[in-house]
Amino acid sequence: MDLTVKKREIKAGIDKIEDEKLVWAIARLLHLDDEGEIPEWHKQVVEERVVKYGKSNSKLKDWDKVQGKL
């Protein structure tokens, strides 16, 4: 398949996506993310995991420290 045609198909497919998480992942993959801005939904996922795995506090890292390294 011609590269130009494939790119066009990919762009059309991306235009149809309504899932914010998937668009965010594609942007990260293509290095188009907002300078390290982390969406609220992603922070919530991390916080849920902290609660779930919180019994092993020695393995947890402080959110502010981790965000500062991104």
Question: What is the DSSP secondary-structure string of 18-51?
Answer: --HHHHHHHHHHTT-SSTT---HHHHHHHHHHHH
* pTM across the whole model: 0.47
Q: Do residues 42 and 23 make contact, with C-beta atoms less than 8 angstroms apart?
A: no
The string of pLDDT tens digits covering residues 7-52 is 999 899 999 999 988 888 888 888 776 666 777 888 888 888 878 7
> With 80 as the cut, is the pLDDT of residue 59 above it?
no
20 CA to centre of own chain: 9
Better pLDDT: 23 or 58: 23
* pLDDT score, position 8: 92
Tokens of 24: 């965010």
